A and B are shown apart, each in its own frame.
Chain A
Amino acid sequence: TQLLEQSPQFLSIQEGENLTVYCNSSSVFSSLQWYRQEPGEGPVLLVTVVTGGEVKKLKRLTFQFGDARKDSSLHITAAQPGDTGLYLCAGGDAGGTSYGKLTFGQGTILTVHP
């Protein structure tokens, strides 16, 4: 069974601060997705990273896939109240009969105070 550990589980910061969310596993993933979920809604895909060491930027968000494809990070620069939400990482199975199955981390609840 593949597991993804997200940390921290809760993050409460002031507007303008920087933050990093981590997603770690002992398993190798074929690729890694990050989702953002707002209260009362379903998750929405932010980014997919597929190559070890890959870095993708989405405005103030920077996503990195570890060289060994076992971990990932999400860094937010100058956080804004609109960034508040639940952030989920999800890894794709690297092979076997369940190729393509998503394994989700527990999520990080981010609150950005004005």
Chain B
Amino acid sequence: NAGVTQTPKFRVLKTGQSMTLLCAQDMNHEYMYWYRQDPGMGLRLIHYSVGEGTTAKGEVPDGYNVSRLKKQNFLLGLESAAPSQTSVYFCASSLTWGLAAQETQYFGPGTRLLVL
């Protein structure tokens, strides 16, 4: 099993450009998450999904959109990138929701995004 994979690993964008980050998991997990990690701020939840076809806003959703058309994939889109979106983006998945059932979240290796 590959676990959680993310593509691309690194990307440089100019302000105003758009891009899509792809997350894939092969563990048949229902729940998937997108986080951003910035120095000194830990991980912050952008959007999450509790199943195929569903998405919900997290802590910092502005400027991002997501889609979960297939259970194994969770896409994060930036329609018009801004320098404030320079960050490391992590995707995660879990069998159930967060810590409600003390389930582990499995993280991908991250995508490093630089917006100039």
Binding site for B on A (CB under 8 A): 4, 6, 9, 30-31, 33, 40-45, 48, 50, 88, 90, 92-93, 99-102, 104-107
Which 5 pairs show the lowest CB-CB distances between chains A and B? A100-B98, A42-B107, A92-B99, A104-B42, A100-B100
Q: In the bound complex, what is the Cα–Cα distance between A40 and B105 (angstroms)?
A: 18
Which DSSP category, helix, strand, loop or mixed, fits chain B's interface? loop
Instruction: Kindly provide the distance from the CB of B21 to the nearest chain A CB, expressed in whole angstroms.
Output: 14
Give the bracket for the number of chain B residues in contact with chain A.
Answer: 20 to 34
Residues of B within 8 A of A (CB): 4, 40-45, 58, 90, 92, 97-100, 102, 104-105, 107-110
Shortest distance between the CB of A40 and any CB in chain B (Å): 7
| Complex contact B45–A102 (CB within 8 A) | yes
Interfacial chain B residues near A42, Cβ < 8 Å: 4, 90, 92, 107-110
Contact between chains at B99 and A33 (CB < 8 Å): yes
Count of inter-chain pairs, beta carbons less than 8 A: 61
- Please give, as numbers and ranges, the residues of chain B lying within 8 Å of A6 by CB-CB distance: 42
Given contacts A42-B92, A92-B99, contact A101 B109 (CB under 8 A): no
Interface centre among A42, A44, A50, A88 (most CB of B within 10 A): A42
**Complex Cα gap A93–B58 (Å):** 13
